[in-house]
Amino acid sequence: MTAQERQLFPGNEDAKPTEDVARDLLIGNSSRRVILGIVALAAYWAWIFSIFHANVLNPFSTPDFSTYLLLCVVVAGSSALSMIVFALLGWYLQRLVDRGWFAVGVALLSILAEVPAFLGQVGGELDFMQAGALFALGGFASSFVYLKTGPFFVWLRRAKLMRSIALAFLLASLLYVLPLFMNPVVGIVMIASFPVVSVACSHLANKGIGPKRLEAATSYRAYLKAVLERFREFVPTLPRTLLYALAFGVTSYAVLNLAVENGLVAVIAASIAVSSLAFAVYVLSKKVEADSDLYRMLLLPLIALAVLPFPYVPELLKIFFLALVIFGFTCFDAITWGDLADEISDRQLPIYVSYAPPTIGNFVGIFIGWSVGALLYAELGSAGFDTGFSIFSIIIVIALVVLLVWDLVKSRKEESGEPQADAFLDKWKAACEEIAEAHELTNQETRIHTMLARGRNQHYIAEELVISPHTIKTHTYHIYKKLGVHSQQELIDMVEAKL
């Protein structure tokens, strides 16, 4: 392992990110594997979307859907809990995820969430506690269904991954709509097949990829220490992830409440279809490998535009506003997973452990959003629900604006702190910009390159730019590769040669 690689991959001395390894992990030429991965993602998302099929999956004969809405909160909570359990016990569980019998087990457990509705359709009855237990088990297992798609994410390059996500989203929206046109029993059986299909396709697609694990963790304590370090790296990004997930969670709960009370399940179906089409157009028409931080910032006004007026627009117009919310959240989610996949590949990190922190942030945010929606409905009733939703949405959007402003201030701090009157520093900065332009560095890479050229270490840069250290390491790896250097000193020497 070279000195550069040891610097960029501390604690992973056995990792060898050579061109051959990168080609094996990231490019691939098997269309069959890509198709299997897309179907696996689509089937999982279709299962998640199916929670909005209250008219199909509601196991209670009463026309009051409030109990079903509580079951949905149970599913969200158990999904978040499963990721927390995996993060804590991954030293034991990460070796089981790729086993065939484990795949069969989580698929069958996921089906339990559809059992109460199936029994209700054939004349059986379950009370809330019984149905809640089955929903909780199904939600708990479903997160492991998603976890199995991890190697597929890492196997693809960024642009190809984003296109795969777009196609999976389109397919998921189609699968979501189909049960609406079926006999309820047949629809339930179809929904129950989604996690089975997802696990089967993931299991086949992942064969031969060989996801990396924490082999160096010789004890549970060493494993837990590594996981906690990963959480510390993600701390700067967790607040924004939680807030976006909260906005999506409480909005989707409001929509579900609207749909089940007014028979407007078609509104949700149309919204998902519109947002999936918009996301596909966005991915196919934009170069999504560029400055992802900028894209994330641009999503904030889109979310605010959709969330704030949502309760006060006519029911049918909610299709458009909900589509904006889903589109914005999907873009944010896809960009985040793309960044993570790049980082895992570049640094040769363990896949499943690296996915735990952001997945926990997503699932916990949605669970809290759904819980807030349930509390608002329970305390304010249907008459006051819109007002409570609006107040909560305003709080979330204000918090997102504060984060955005903070990011902008921090990102300009380094530039504004430079003494512009100092001719030498101006000349140094010009040399950095010339090198960045000549080697086609992105905007973010240019900022990091300039700070590296001034002798700043990666921890300092992470604090200044409000970016997690693991992201800085990934950007540094790309910068070194584009410039053809192997250390920070060689980078500095290249700049000095321009003076």
Distance CA 435, CA 493 (A): 12
pLDDT of residue 326: 74
pLDDT of residue 411: 58
Instruction: Flag the least confident range among 77-81, 102-106, 379-383.
Output: 379-383
- The pLDDT tens digits of the residues spanning 17-37 come to 333 333 333 334 457 788 888
CATH number of residue 442's parent domain: 3.40.50.2300
> What value does the mean pLDDT of the chain take?
75
Residue 113 has pLDDT above 50, yes or no: yes
Give the residue with greater pLDDT, 35 vs 244. 35
Q: Are residues 250 and 276 in the same domain?
A: yes
- Does residue 10 belong to any structural domain of this protein? no
Q: Are residues 494 and 433 in the same domain?
A: yes
**Mean per-residue pLDDT, 83-93:** 84
Instruction: Flag the least confident range among 108-117, 122-131, 149-158.
Output: 149-158
Q: Which of 103, 102, 101, 95 is nearest to 212 (CA)?
A: 95
Instruction: Flag the least confident range among 63-77, 86-100, 396-410.
Output: 396-410
Residue 213 has pLDDT above 70, yes or no: no
Q: Are residues 483 and 349 in the same domain?
A: no
Cβ burial, residue 61 (10 Å; 0-12/13-18/19+): exposed
Buried-exposed string 151-183: b where 16+ CB fall within 10 A, e elsewhere: bbbbbbbbeebbbbbbbbbbbbbebbbebeeee
Q: Are residues 79 and 144 in the same domain?
A: yes
Domains of the chain: total: 2
Helices (H), 112-237: 115-121, 128-147, 150-155, 158-177, 184-205, 220-234
- The DSSP string of 21-47 is HHHHHHT---HHHHHHHHHHHHHHHHH
Q: Are 264 and 258 in contact (CB under 8 A)?
A: yes
Distance CA 468, CA 431 (A): 27
Structure tokens at 22: 């990168």
Residue 132 has pLDDT above 80, yes or no: yes
Q: Are residues 399 and 449 in the same domain?
A: no
- Does residue 354 belong to any structural domain of this protein? yes
Q: Are residues 325 and 231 in the same domain?
A: yes
Q: Are residues 88 and 23 in the same domain?
A: yes
Buried-exposed string 392-418: b where 16+ CB fall within 10 A, e elsewhere: bbeebbebbeebeeebeeebeebeeee
**Mean per-residue pLDDT, 73-87:** 88
- The pLDDT tens digits of the residues spanning 428-447 come to 777 888 888 888 888 788 88
Distance CA 176, CA 49 (A): 6
pLDDT-based confidence at residue 422 (cuts at 50, 70, 90): very low
Give the residue with greater pLDDT, 124 vs 81. 81
Distance CA 430, CA 150 (A): 41
Instruction: Flag the least confident range among 165-169, 186-190, 381-385.
Output: 381-385
End position of a domain, from candidates 410, 430, 454: 410
451 is in which domain, residue-wise? 418-498
pLDDT-based confidence at residue 350 (cuts at 50, 70, 90): confident
Residue 146 has pLDDT above 80, yes or no: yes
**Inter-CA distances, 200 with 106, 111, 205, 209, 298, Å:** 11, 14, 9, 15, 37
pLDDT-based confidence at residue 354 (cuts at 50, 70, 90): confident
Q: Are residues 389 and 482 in the same domain?
A: no
- Does residue 12 belong to any structural domain of this protein? no
Q: Are residues 94 and 236 in the same domain?
A: yes
**Mean per-residue pLDDT, 386-391:** 80
Q: Are residues 354 and 375 in the same domain?
A: yes
Q: Are 329 and 372 in contact (CB under 8 A)?
A: no
Instruction: Flag the least confident range among 1-15, 130-144, 446-460, 485-499.
Output: 1-15
**Mean per-residue pLDDT, 243-265:** 70
Instruction: Flag the least confident range among 77-91, 224-238, 471-485.
Output: 224-238
pLDDT-based confidence at residue 150 (cuts at 50, 70, 90): confident
- Does residue 187 belong to any structural domain of this protein? yes
pLDDT of residue 6: 39
Question: Residue 258 carries which DSSP code?
Answer: H
pLDDT-based confidence at residue 296 (cuts at 50, 70, 90): low
- The DSSP string of 73-93 is HHHHHHHHHHHHHHHHHHHHH
End position of a domain, from candidates 346, 377, 410: 410
CB atoms within 10 A of CB 207: 12
Q: Are 56 and 67 in contact (CB under 8 A)?
A: no
Q: Are residues 166 and 274 in the same domain?
A: yes
End position of a domain, from candidates 379, 410, 441: 410
CATH number of residue 284's parent domain: 1.20.1250.20
Give the residue with greater pLDDT, 6 vs 242. 242
- Percent of residues, the chain, with pLDDT higher than 70: 78
414 residue type, one letter? E
pLDDT of residue 27: 38
**Mean per-residue pLDDT, 451-458:** 80
Give the residue with greater pLDDT, 36 vs 392. 36
pLDDT of residue 5: 35
**Mean per-residue pLDDT, 81-109:** 85
- Does residue 315 belong to any structural domain of this protein? yes
pLDDT of residue 62: 60
Give the residue with greater pLDDT, 16 vs 217. 217
- Does residue 9 belong to any structural domain of this protein? no
SS3 assignment, position 169: helix
Q: Are residues 384 and 431 in the same domain?
A: no
Distance CA 234, CA 212 (A): 20
pLDDT of residue 408: 66
Q: Are 250 and 322 in contact (CB under 8 A)?
A: no
* pTM > 0.85: no
pLDDT of residue 211: 60
